Structure 1
Amino acid sequence: MEMYSRVIATGSALPKMRVTNDDLAARLRVDGIETSDEWIRTRTGILERRFADAQKGETTTSLAVAAARNALERSGLRAEEIDLIIVATTTPDMVFPSTAAHVQSAIGATGCAAFDVQAVCAGFIYALNAADAMLRAGPYRSAIVIGAEVMSRVLDFKDRSTCVLFGDGAGAVVLQSSSDPGVLAARMYADGRYDEKVLGLTARIDNGAVVGCPYINMDGRQVFKLAVEGLVNSANEVADLACVRTEDVALFVPHQANLRIMSMVAKKLGIPEERMVKTVSEHGNTSAASVPLALDRAVTSGMVKPGELVLLQAVGAGMAWGSALVRW
């Protein structure tokens, strides 16, 4: 019997600190240039975001653990029934051990496979694809896939072109193997020609010192163009593989990076904007946490019904991008 994987539960976690556009504008009066709520909102659709407070114990790991526990509780599974934990993050709390290993320890899933995936904003799609393949192949039967980020640690608050975009948070899903199709098709892509000059963070640890730039660098115009093209093409491919039309998608959960990108992709795919989940105004771009956070919002608010088609997709540095088509 052919096996598939199904999403049986979602979960999320957000830091307590809300940072509004006005809060950032007050902080960004640099070199005589003033930033305003209107300047941020009209370019991005973002109104506020959450920032983690490490002094209060809010870290990438703590957010990932909270999201995993949330999803696990809703799934009805016990921690010892989990065979696989994959965490997508580009802002781990340490080089190693992995964030996934710390999540495993915290939730009591000792002994299962646990590893991290680094594909920046596309990380959750990569992690979901990997978990789906492993559950289909066996012997794994249940998995927690998490996207978790503390992007506020790598923002240059003298660069308004990047620091207004990002936020912190974590989202998670529980997958279970099933004879009924759940993840219908998923694909990952990358093009390394568009390297750190387009979007990157070049810092590394070398002999005890930080070498390179510890802040995000981005060419916004190039990212916008590549994002729209990549997301539209990947959505069409997974729809073809699943033998459905993008117009049949009941819920569109795009990467929450920029409202203009999201709306343009939806239009090109023939998906009415009212079917699109929008959390970017509240969360900003939470990188690998973006898609699972938005998905959890949709699930908990009743936006998706059993049997409906859900399109998930994200794009990030690498450049890396991907889509997944799920039957709920």
Structure 2
Amino acid sequence: MNIKITGSGTYIPTEAITNTDFANHVFLNDDGTLFPQSNEIIAEKFKVITGIDERRYVTDDLNTSDIATIAANKAIEDAKIDPETLDYIIFAHNFGDVKKGAIQGDMLPSLASKVKHNLRIKNPKCVAYDMLFGCPGWVEGVIQATAFIKAGMAKKCLVIGAETLSRVVDPHDRDSMIYSDGAGATIIESTTEEGGILAHESATFSYEEANYLFFGKSFNTELNPDIRYIKMYGRKIYEFALSNVPNAMKECLENSGVQLNQLKKILIHQANEKMDEAIVQRFYKLYNQKMPEGIMPMSIHKLGNSSVATIPTLYDSILKGKVENQVLNKGDVIMFASVGAGMNINAIVYQM
């Protein structure tokens, strides 16, 4: 028995927000003082560091569970399955449904239950639950689905990664320019086909690192301090990722039995272009090799960092021919790798 991704789907929001759209923002330091550089200089430096030209935001009428449902429907159609045959719906997100203008996230009922309701699935044996695991949530959801199938507890699982980070960013924090919205969904099932998930690796570093990403008040001291926004210690995350992600990727590859030169693509969480490049370069350096050209497809330039959605949307976009100069063929060995709040790290070696 092998376990494969048999269908995938995405929802890419229609609202494109360019770096110049932040021209009128009042960016502040964390102590509330005015940032000394002009927004034009901030935007230039931001693009150099992150690689982001623009990002996508959902329209006011859509919530995270809505865009997840759209992506899920596409994945179900792609896999050509009856949704009533799903054993699990695993929904990775971090903030629930946050309606436009609201100051609270809505996670009652769970977003997985909302999606099951939206899909009109009647089968009570289809168990729906949420995964809160930071940006690596979709990868971890795939790992859990694999475990259920291996244990004989499931045959088909729907794993979703979706987020609307535009609703939880502090407009006075320069880091708000990183985040975006999106949804990706995949069907994971047992199959007689060759390949599938060959190995996985997961870890949580929380002794000192737990609060590198956190919920904090606005940098604008005149705003209500009880309203919280996504915040991060960027330098600490960068150093953490470079120190730990390459080692996890190496361990995962070695557990898979695949040789480094067999690896065709690395689909890494689209967090920050320079950081992602540095992680993959360091991974190859562990083997005294140079990072091959084209090994790391990127979608961050136009889609930004949509957290749990970045890897499944990138995967589906490549399959559907929407990423320039990037293809995935049957039999190709690829790696998924992610890092995020927790601090959590994971990786999967997968044969198409």
1:73 lines up with 2:77 in the alignment: yes
Cα distance, 1:104 vs structure 2: 0.9
Aligned counterparts of 1:74 and 1:116: Cα–Cα separation in 2: 23
Which range moved further: 212-221 or 299-308? 212-221
Which of the numbers 314, 333, 342 marks the counterpart of 1:318? 342
Higher CA-based Rg? 2
> Amino acid of the residue matched to residue 250 of structure 1?
K
Aligned counterparts of 1:115 and 1:135: Cα–Cα separation in 2: 16
Q: TM-score, normalised by structure 2?
A: 0.85
Aligned counterparts of 2:9 and 2:180: Cα–Cα separation in 1: 18
Cα distance, 1:268 vs structure 2: 2.3
- SS of residue paired to 2:24: helix
1:102 lines up with 2:114 in the alignment: yes
Aligned counterparts of 2:171 and 2:136: Cα–Cα separation in 1: 24
Which of the numbers 139, 146, 158 marks the counterpart of 2:172? 158
Q: Which residue number in structure 1 is paired with residue 6 of structure 2? A: 8
Higher helix share: 1
Aligned counterparts of 1:59 and 1:282: Cα–Cα separation in 2: 21
Aligned counterparts of 1:14 and 1:151: Cα–Cα separation in 2: 13
Which range moved further: 65-74 or 261-270? 261-270
- SS of residue paired to 2:163: strand
Q: Which residue number in structure 2 is paired with residue 133 of structure 1? A: 147
> Deviation per CA, 1:246-282, whole angstroms, max 9, x where unpaired?
3321111000010011111222233424121100111
2:211–2:342 Cα contact (<8 Å) kept? no
Aligned counterparts of 1:53 and 1:150: Cα–Cα separation in 2: 10
Q: TM-score, normalised by structure 1?
A: 0.91
1:247–1:269 Cα contact (<8 Å) kept? no
Cα distance, 1:157 vs structure 2: 0.7
Aligned counterparts of 2:128 and 2:231: Cα–Cα separation in 1: 30
Aligned counterparts of 2:86 and 2:120: Cα–Cα separation in 1: 10
Aligned counterparts of 1:95 and 1:155: Cα–Cα separation in 2: 18
Which range moved further: 227-236 or 276-285? 227-236
1:184–1:326 Cα contact (<8 Å) kept? yes
- Cα RMSD over matched residues? 1.8
Cα distance, 1:245 vs structure 2: 2.6
Which range moved further: 226-235 or 313-322? 226-235
Aligned counterparts of 1:49 and 1:5: Cα–Cα separation in 2: 33
Cα distance, 1:325 vs structure 2: 0.7
**Which residues in structure 2 correspond to 1:42-121 (within 5 Å)?**
42-54=48-60, 57-93=61-97, 94-110=106-122, 111=124, 112-121=126-135
Q: Which runs of 4+ in 1 moved over 3 A?
A: 194-197, 210-213
> Deviation per CA, 1:109-168, whole angstroms, max 9, x where unpaired?
3320110100111111111110111111123111111100011111001011x1011100
2:27–2:171 Cα contact (<8 Å) kept? no
Identity between Structure 1 and Structure 2 (%) = 28
> Deviation per CA, 1:202-237, whole angstroms, max 9, x where unpaired?
68xxxxxx9855112211111001112222111111
In the alignment, structure 2 segments of 5+ residues that lack a partner are 29-33, 98-105, 218-223, 285-290
1:313–1:324 Cα contact (<8 Å) kept? yes
**Which residues in structure 2 correspond to 1:195-274 (within 5 Å)?**
195=209, 197-201=211-215, 214-270=228-284, 271-274=291-294
- SS of residue paired to 1:275: coil
> Amino acid of the residue matched to residue 188 of structure 2?
L
